[in-house]
Amino acid sequence: MRAIGQDGFGGPEVLKIMEVERPEPGPAEVLVRVHAAGVNPTDSWHRASGGLAGAVVRLGWDVSGVVEAVGPGVTTLAPGDEVFGLPRHPLPAGTYAEYVTSPARHLVRKPEALTHIQAAALPLAALTAWQALVDVARVRPGRRVLIHAAAGGVGHLAVQIAKARGAHVTGTARAAKHEFLRRLGADELVDYTEADFETAVAPVDVVVDTIGGAYGPRSLRTLRPGGVLVSLASPAEAYLADEAAALGRRAAFMIVEADQAGMREIAALVESGLLRPEIATVLPLDQAAKAHELGDSRRTSGKIVLSVRN
């Protein structure tokens, strides 16, 4: 089969199309014929440095496709089922390929309302937003939520999920992206190039920080007493927990996990019309390097997706 691989760390140019052996599903696994694979910032991090493992791995976690075969013990899926999900994360998955194996319970059936391209844009980013807002912050109706980089891959889905939970949503983004975010339901928007969000935003209950750096401690100052900052930026942000506690707030660093229950909730939001991914760019598998160039620019609104099979 064709797959994207790399023989070292570096920029997008290290990504190459390769011919490799097609994998076989093991116990409790399925083999998925990949139709599309989402591209995420974590893919670039692993490409450049090896990520947490410090080793070259085959890239990609988001997948949408069709079950080709099932391994021993699988009872939830069958050949021919259209599925999407986040296999194995944070362990390597390798969805930039024509086939991938996955634990059966890391996948759910694809909503009929979504194409494979749209479905592949959802798992990692939508699960990140869901786990941050629901599992960590426990957002409920009436809560005020601030989402940084609100037009990005995670951000634009977090806006929709927070609105579906009944929250009042404020987002930071360049002015050119404000109309897009209003269509998604954002209540207030701050152009971070023109205004200081610390003073422009009324006190909030929850901050979702996808940026890191100085945004963490600055975001703590926007929280009401008892509020929570969920940092998605890097493990280094864990120091914020002590600073938050001293202010009577809470801070948590989070890494998204494969989560079938969360994926079912995401599929339900899609089917109810409350969640839709914005597709910034679709490129063929052999242009994975170009997809990473676009992603590394951090200027896209929504998601970049690799089309593997029409």
Question: What is the CATH class of 125-253?
Answer: alpha beta
Q: pLDDT class for 300, splitting at 50, 70, 90? A: confident
Indicate the range of 26-40, 167-181, 237-251, 283-297 predicted with least confidence.
Answer: 237-251
Domain with CATH 3.90.180.10 in the chain: 2-122+277-307
Q: Are 159 and 147 in contact (CB under 8 A)?
A: yes
Question: So what's the pLDDT on residue 119?
Answer: 98
What does the pLDDT read at residue 128?
A: 98
CATH 3.40.50.720 placement within the chain = 125-253
Residues 271-298 have a mean pLDDT of: 95
The pLDDT tens digits of the residues spanning 131-174 come to 999 999 999 999 999 999 999 999 999 999 999 999 999 999 99
Contact 159, 301 (CB under 8 A): no
Distances (CA, A) of 153 to 7, 38, 123, 128, 194: 28, 10, 11, 10, 22
Is the CATH number 3.90.180.10 carried by domain 2-122+277-307? yes
Reported as a single tens digit per residue, the pLDDT across 25-41 is 999 999 999 999 999 99
Residues 115-127: pLDDT tens digits?
999 999 999 999 9
Residue 298 has pLDDT above 90, yes or no: no
For the whole model, what pTM was predicted? 0.95
Q: How many CB atoms lie within 10 A of CB 215?
A: 21
Q: Answer yes or no: is pLDDT of 69 > 90.
A: yes
